[in-house]
Amino acid sequence: MNHLPLIIKREYLTKVRNKAFVLMTFLTPFVMIGLALFVGYLSSVNNDTVRNLYVLDESEFLSESFKTNDQTIYTHLSDLDLETAKTLANQEGAYGLLHIPKVSLETVSKSIRFYSEEAPSLSVISSLESKIDTKLSELKLQNIGVDLDLIKASKTTVEINQESFEGVKTSKVGSVMKLIFGGAAGYLLFMFIIIYGNMIMRSVIEEKTSRIIEVIISSVKPIQLMLGKIIGTSLAGITQVVIWIILGFVLLFATSVIFGVELSQTPQQDLVHEALSNPESTDKIQMLINEFNSLPIENLMLAFILFFIGGYLLYSSLYAAIGAAVDNETDTQQFMIPILMPLILAIYVGVFTVVEDPHGTISTVFSFIPFTSPVVMLMRIPFGVPIWQQVVSLLILIVTFIFTVWFAAKIYRVGILMYGKKPTYKELFKWLKY
């Protein structure tokens, strides 16, 4: 293994000195910040848009329901027929005309029409429907003699306090937080495998097609070369991610301080600040802090590193084997599907099963299967997984990785010297016997 450090160094320097790699490393944060600024600008423009809605209420049931606010100006029409109102709204450039015909209270809900030049926004229609539904319900209750004040006073908000048998308090907020941590970890691993696994595969294909591999393989064992490519490319990927994070924070600071752009001032965050200023939110904030403190942070960090490395190395070895088996990226499609399927399955299991029952049979089983465990186990750990299960899953993953490296090295040893023919699965199986 004395050549392995040299191969790792060569692969790392080759990647980080590549012009395309350097360009994307430093350009990506600028693009992301630019997109964030653009989205924030579009959000502010959309938030500042004021719609002018005309209302022709011939029933007089809903006139008081539509009051002008910062987002919508309601213009109430009277003593006009429908056609005249439509013509007026169109000429004045109104966003639309809401028509409530003069019918009974029981049938008015089925007779309301909204006229506009273009298809209206879903949020506008939903807001109108909500206002109309609330008002009509109140009118019907009043007609049958129901006191609305008593109805409002009878409304009760139920919030079930959750607590384990050991006395540890939990909440729905805590479950959501655990889901976010687990989902983020699984998603990062998925993206890292896709991006840098493909980089390893393309590197192998390039060296194979350029015939430089024939020179390298004369003095280096195939398994050393494969491991060197995997580790070197991984280190280059980590370097790229670290630069992205550092440069991203620097650009955010420069944008907010030097140019005076406040990225944090969005309508959504204004709502958050308003909620935080409410004294009733103090308990919820404290509960959120307690939930965060109750998370197994040390366990999460250690498990993330170990499963991340194990999962990435496992799939990277398969990507390297695919690159050795083919001559171009077009031929990789038939081999990529069997590799990506378990990874995609892990995402689906994590999203639809772990969320519902993190300790159920399906979640537990898939957290031990090596091709799905890096994602599923990372999504389960925030919900409290016994240490022995994590250790067993990690050991299975390591053993599978060793076997996969041996398997991939067999294909790599033969495949890197094969040209001009796309192998079949049967031929790949024969290569294992060589």
Phi and psi at residue 194, to the nearest 5°: -60, -45
pLDDT of 267: 45
Q: Count other Cβ atoms within 10 Å, centred on residue 317.
A: 28
Contact 342, 366 (CB under 8 A): no
Q: What is the DSSP code (8-state) at residue 164? A: -
pLDDT of 395: 93
99: left (phi over 0), alpha (psi -120 to 50) or beta: beta
Q: Count other Cβ atoms within 10 Å, centred on residue 291.
A: 19
pLDDT of 392: 92
β-bridge mates for residue 74, sequence order = 53
181/37 Cα distance (integer angstroms): 26
191/347 Cα distance (integer angstroms): 11
**Residues 6+ positions from 190 with CB-CB distance below 8 Å:** 343, 346, 347, 375
In sequence order, what DSSP letters do the residues of 299-366 get, joined into one string? Answer: HHHHHHHHHHHHHHHHHHHHHHHHHHH-SSGGGGHHHHHHHHHHHHHHHHHIIIIITT-TTSHHHHHH
**Residues 6+ positions from 264 with CB-CB distance below 8 Å:** 256
What residue type is assigned to position 51 of the chain?
R
What is the CATH architecture of 51-140? 3-Layer(aba) Sandwich (3.40)
What is the side-by-side order of every strand in the sheet holding 72-77?
A: 72-77, 51-57, 96-100, 113-115
Closest CA to 318 of 200, 433, 188: 200
pLDDT of 265: 47
What's the token pair of residue 102? 């003069």
What's the token pair of residue 374? 């890096």
Region(s) of the chain under CATH 3.40.190.10:
51-140
Phi and psi at residue 53, to the nearest 5°: -110, 130
Closest CA to 253 of 266, 268, 264, 239: 264
pLDDT of 285: 63
pTM of the model: 0.65
Q: At what angle do helices 172-209 and 333-349 cross, to 10 degrees?
A: 170
30/255 Cα distance (integer angstroms): 11
Q: At what angle do helices 333-349 and 373-380 cross, to 10 degrees?
A: 20
Cα radius of gyration (the chain): 31
User: Residues in the chain with pLDDT < 50?
Assistant: 263-272, 274-276
